[in-house]
Every structure is written in structure tokens, then in C-alpha cells.
């Protein structure tokens, strides 16, 4: 009988051990991994997905989504996935404010990207300052807004001052003496025009800013350009500067050529959007401007530190969407990876404050548009050498090297 009791005891132990093992297996099966239980870092996106900039923001959305998916596929930030919460502001100031306030009042929101339009930024920036949440601006700000020295707003794009300086360099290289500016009616376009005039005249150029202007919603500028034709002929204008971006850039070029004007056209970095070549067709041929390095991925110098990053991004854009990198996609890439970099450098619990501080301390960050350096007195990040000269040839963006002005 004793052996039987011993055997029963041994059998009981075996059953117990078996059940315990099965319990651990079941727990392991139903419990999520440690990385999955970590909450996401939420980033608000407040953009004009409808309205005149819809084509631009479509590219932004594609590129940002591509890069967020990549961040998460690589394990996120210390196991925390990155999550974009997108809202359409419809190119409406009230909706911009509503979206920004909604994001700001969500305590899980780390930062907000957008809006795009310079005229809408002042509202989002002021809310960001009040609510103490980082606002990452896609479109460069005009001097009035930058002069506010806001703590919570950071710029991704090249600012209007260095863009204007680069364009004056282009004019000098081309020996343009007289330039007529046809500006957009919004703050950034006006700022670009005024800065170009100031820098150009300081170099001995004659710069005429037209009283005629245009809106981002204009689909035909023939009436305004017809009024400018006598001025172009009388002043013997060497070049026409279209101080604008996106769809209006293509429309202006088409209207100019339809009027029989063959005067060279120069533009802002906002001419570096891939879709405007298709929109403007042959009328875009010969247009020149300064833009970010993402516009010409395979044409950068072999020793350029951002070249491999740009080429890789361009390949992944083509593989996913069938279109390559351009100016606006480059801004999207840099926004996501600057956010990721700052989050990775945040020690301990990530808060809005620690994130802001880490973003402001960014030094030597290699993006596709250049190398970023932020500081308490500089939230622009990029400098003039991060721009390259571009010419549209054969319906493609072609890098142009101008000795002495690179």
C-alpha cells in the first residue's frame, strides 16, 4: 500500500506541474508583448486636406504615413508606437483653431504638425503657446511671426529669408539686372517678394514688385499678367519672379506663355512640388529656383552627408506610391524623423515639456532637406547652404551648379 501512496503522490505532482505549465503557456499566449502594451506617442496633424492646397497636403499625408510605418516597423520609440491623428482644417481659420484646440486639450497629444498655409499658422502658433504644446510648421513663417520668438513653434521648411537670398544668388549668376515680381496675396508670398527686393537691390538689381497679385484659389491669372505685359516690355525685364507655390506656379507659367511672353521665370522653393510639372506641362520648361535637396535625390554630391538618406527615401516613395521625393515630401520626412529623434532623446517619462526641450536641442540632425540645428534663439533649423539650384528640363527637376554661388 505504501508504494501505491508514493505513486499517487508522484502522479499528483506530475499533474500539478503539468497544469502549472499549461497555465503559463496560456498566459503567455493571451498576454500581449511588452512593446504592444506601451501606449502610443500621439501626434496631431492639422492640415488642409481639402481646398486649394489639397494636392500639396496629399503628398504630405503619404510621406508622413510612410515614415511613421517605418518607425513602428523598427520597434517604435522604446517600444512606443508613433500614431498620427489627422484632422482636415479645410483651409478655414475657424477649423484650424478648432482642430488645434482639440489636440491641445488631449493630454496624450505630444505635438501638432501643421497647418500648411502661412496665413493660418499665426492662429495655431498662438494656441500652441497658450496651451504649451509643440507646433511643427511645414510652411516657412514670415518675419513678423518669426519675430515673436515663440517657444513652442518650430519650422521645418527653409525660411523666406534664405530662400530670397538664394534666389538673388541665382539672378546674379544669370546676370539678371531687372526683375519683375508677381506675388501671391498671402503673407509668405508677400514676405518673399519684399525680402527679394531688399536683398536684390542691395546687390545692385532693379526689383519691381507688381501691384497685381493672385490668390491660391485663382485658376487663371491672364487678366493680371496682361496688365503686366507693358511693364515687362517697357522695363526690359530680364526675369519674372513668381512669388508663389504649388498650383498657382504652374498656372502662371502657362498663362505667361499663352500670352507670348518668353521672359525667363524664376520661382520659390514651392516650385519643387512634383505635380506642378505635370500641371504646367511644357510651360514649365526652363523655370529655375532654389529648393531642398529632396527634389534631386540622385544628383547630389557623392560626399553630401544627406545623399544616402535622400536616395533611400526617394526609392521608398516610388515603391509605395509610384512618385518620388520632392520639396513637400521632404518636409514630411523631416518632420517625422525630427519628432522621432527628439522622443528617443527624451529621458524617463516623455512629456510635452521634455519633448519640446529635446527638439530645441537638436544638433546636426541629418534630414532629407539638409542638416538641422535648433537652439533657444533659432527655431528655423536650416541654412542657405541646404538649398540647391534647380532647373526644369524635359519635364524633370535638374540640379544646376553655379560656381561662386553654391
pLDDT, mean over the chain: 90
Judge if pTM exceeds 0.75. yes
Domains of the chain, first to last = 41-160+304-386 (3.40.50.2300), 161-301+387-400 (3.40.50.2300)
pLDDT tens-place string over residues 151-172 = 999 999 998 899 999 999 999 9
- Residue pair 103/44 in contact (Cβ under 8 Å)? The answer is yes
At residue 9, does pLDDT exceed 90? no
pLDDT tens-place string over residues 53-73 = 898 899 999 999 999 999 999
At residue 143, does pLDDT exceed 50? yes
Amino acid at each position: 500500500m505504501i508504494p501505491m501512496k508514493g505513486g499517487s503522490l508522484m502522479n499528483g505532482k506530475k499533474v500539478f506541474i503539468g497544469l502549472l505549465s499549461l497555465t503559463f503557456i496560456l498566459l503567455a499566449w493571451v498576454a500581449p508583448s511588452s512593446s504592444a502594451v506601451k501606449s502610443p506617442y500621439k501626434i496631431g496633424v492639422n492640415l488642409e486636406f481639402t481646398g486649394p492646397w489639397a494636392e500639396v497636403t496629399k503628398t504630405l499625408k503619404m510621406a508622413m504615413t510612410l515614415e511613421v510605418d517605418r518607425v513602428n516597423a523598427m520597434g517604435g520609440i522604446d517600444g512606443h508606437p508613433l500614431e498620427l491623428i489627422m484632422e482636415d482644417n479645410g483651409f478655414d481659420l475657424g477649423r484650424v483653431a478648432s482642430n488645434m484646440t482639440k489636440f491641445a486639450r488631449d493630454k496624450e497629444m505630444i505635438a501638432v504638425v501643421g497647418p500648411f498655409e502661412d496665413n493660418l499658422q499665426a492662429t495655431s502658433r498662438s494656441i500652441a503657446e497658450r496651451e504649451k504644446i509643440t507646433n511643427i510648421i511645414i510652411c516657412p513663417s514670415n518675419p513678423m511671426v518669426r519675430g515673436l520668438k515663440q517657444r513652442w513653434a518650430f519650422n521645418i521648411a527653409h525660411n523666406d529669408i534664405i530662400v530670397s537670398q538664394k534666389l538673388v544668388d541665382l539672378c546674379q549668376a544669370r546676370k539678371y539686372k531687372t526683375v519683375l515680381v508677381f506675388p501671391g496675396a498671402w503673407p509668405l508670398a508677400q514676405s518673399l517678394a519684399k525680402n527679394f527686393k531688399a536683398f536684390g537691390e542691395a546687390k545692385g538689381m532693379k526689383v519691381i514688385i507688381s501691384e497685381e497679385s493672385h490668390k491660391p484659389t485663382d485658376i487663371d491669372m491672364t487678366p493680371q499678367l496682361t496688365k503686366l505685359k507693358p511693364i515687362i516690355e517697357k522695363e526690359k525685364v530680364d526675369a519674372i519672379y513668381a512669388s508663389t507655390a504649388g498650383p498657382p506656379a504652374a498656372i502662371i507659367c502657362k498663362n505667361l506663355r499663352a500670352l507670348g511672353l518668353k521672359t525667363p521665370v524664376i520661382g520659390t522653393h514651392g516650385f519643387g512640388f512634383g505635380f506642378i510639372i505635370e500641371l504646367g506641362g511644357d510651360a514649365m520648361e526652363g523655370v529655375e529656383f532654389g529648393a531642398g535637396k529632396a527634389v534631386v535625390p540622385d544628383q547630389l554630391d557623392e560626399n553630401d552627408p544627406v545623399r544616402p538618406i535622400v536616395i533611400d527615401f526617394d526609392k521608398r516613395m516610388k515603391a509605395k506610391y509610384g512618385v518620388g521625393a520632392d520639396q513637400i515630401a521632404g518636409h514630411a520626412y523631416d518632420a517625422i524623423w525630427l519628432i522621432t529623434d527628439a522622443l528617443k532623446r527624451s529621458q524617463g517619462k516623455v512629456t510635452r515639456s521634455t519633448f519640446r526641450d529635446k527638439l530645441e536641442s537638436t544638433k546636426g540632425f541629418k534630414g532629407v532637406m539638409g542638416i538641422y540645428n535648433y537652439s533657444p534663439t533659432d527655431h528655423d533649423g536650416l541654412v542657405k547652404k541646404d538649398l540647391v539650384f534647380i532647373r526644369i528640363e524635359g519635364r524633370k527637376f535638374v540640379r544646376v551648379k553655379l560656381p561662386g554661388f553654391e
